[in-house]
Amino acid sequence: MPFKLEFLDLAFDEWCKLDSAVATRLRKKLDRRLEQPRIESQRLHGTLADCFKIRDDKSGSRVVYVIEDDEHVVLVVSVGKRADGAAYRIAEARRD
């Protein structure tokens, strides 16, 4: 049974600011992750060890999400660029 997709409010605001082509590519990847959200090679480390990432290499964008097994939900924590580390810094702040 696929997981349900949810966004933190601020993460949804970030998602809405994405270029439509980038959002489409990331949404396709998100849809696949709802079937199998735990891809160990995409697990983050350190303070974000409970989070996973989805990347769009063409734009450099990242989606950081956490899996809430008890609610069967994939919760998007942040959306942003990798180049300046924004997606990861923001995710760390929101996970605290």
CA nearest to 67, candidates 54, 76, 59, 78: 76
pLDDT at 13: 97
What's the CATH code of the domain at 74?
3.30.2310.20
Decide if 42 contacts 50 (C-beta within 8 A). Answer: no
**How many domains is the chain built from?**
1
pLDDT at 83: 79
pLDDT digits (tens, 9 = 90+) for 18-46: 999 999 999 999 999 999 999 999 999 99
Model-level pTM?
0.94
pLDDT at 28: 97
Percent of the chain with pLDDT over 90: 90
pLDDT at 82: 83
DSSP 22-88: HHHHHHHHHHHHHHS---GGGB--GGGTTEEEEEETTTTEEEEEEEEGGGTEEEEEEEEESTT-HHH
> What is the domain range of residue 21?
4-95
Mean pLDDT, the chain, integer: 95
